[in-house]
């Protein structure tokens, strides 16, 4: 009887973990930049997104075959700020406003200086993934 109860509890825990994982997995977002489609991941909610690529080993990007992450400006912050705290590789950060690139910044690892521009979303791409993007480019 105890063995049966333990197996039921383990089963319930496994099902709960599967449901939690499915509800909180990142979404794939495809953006077209200069006529080429790029895949990005976007965390399922704002609290997960706060850490972005901090402490990342980029395994998740490879699993999703993604070039980077996209961050909607959930709080409509003006300006929209990022930093490189606990981020160990250089990133290209791309601010977008009204489907137009308004700023491109080459962010350096472990730099706690805020990087701020106006925008409705920001794309972060590891510097070793080459994406040719310039201010004024259209993003859809």
- pLDDT digits over 79-133, tens only? 888 888 888 888 899 999 999 999 999 999 889 999 999 999 999 888 877 778 8
pLDDT at 55: 58
Residue position matching structure tokens 């690892």: 109
Distance CA 74, CA 45 (A): 9
Looking at the chain, which runs of residues are DSSP E strands? Answer: 27-33, 36-42, 68-72, 80-82, 91-97, 100-107, 115-117, 121-126
Distance of alpha carbon 105 from alpha carbon 76, whole angstroms: 20
CB 73 within 8 A of CB 120: yes
- 39-48, 53-62, 96-105: the lowest-pLDDT one: 53-62
């Amino acid at each position: 009887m105890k063995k049966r109860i333990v197996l039921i509890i383990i089963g319930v825990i496994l099902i709960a973990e599967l449901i939690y994982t499915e509800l909180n997995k990142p979404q794939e977002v495809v953006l077209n930049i200069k006529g080429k489609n790029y895949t990005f991941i976007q965390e399922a909610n704002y609290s997960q997104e706060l850490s972005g690529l901090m402490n990342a080993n980029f395994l998740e990007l490879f699993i999703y075959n993604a070039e980077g992450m996209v961050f909607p400006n959930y709080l409509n912050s003006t300006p929209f700020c990022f930093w490189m705290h606990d981020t160990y590789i250089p990133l290209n950060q791309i601010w977008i406003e009204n489907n137009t690139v308004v700023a491109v910044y080459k962010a350096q690892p472990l730099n706690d200086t805020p990087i701020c521009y106006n925008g409705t979303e920001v794309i972060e791409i590891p510097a070793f993934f080459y994406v040719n993007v310039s201010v004024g480019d259209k993003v859809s």
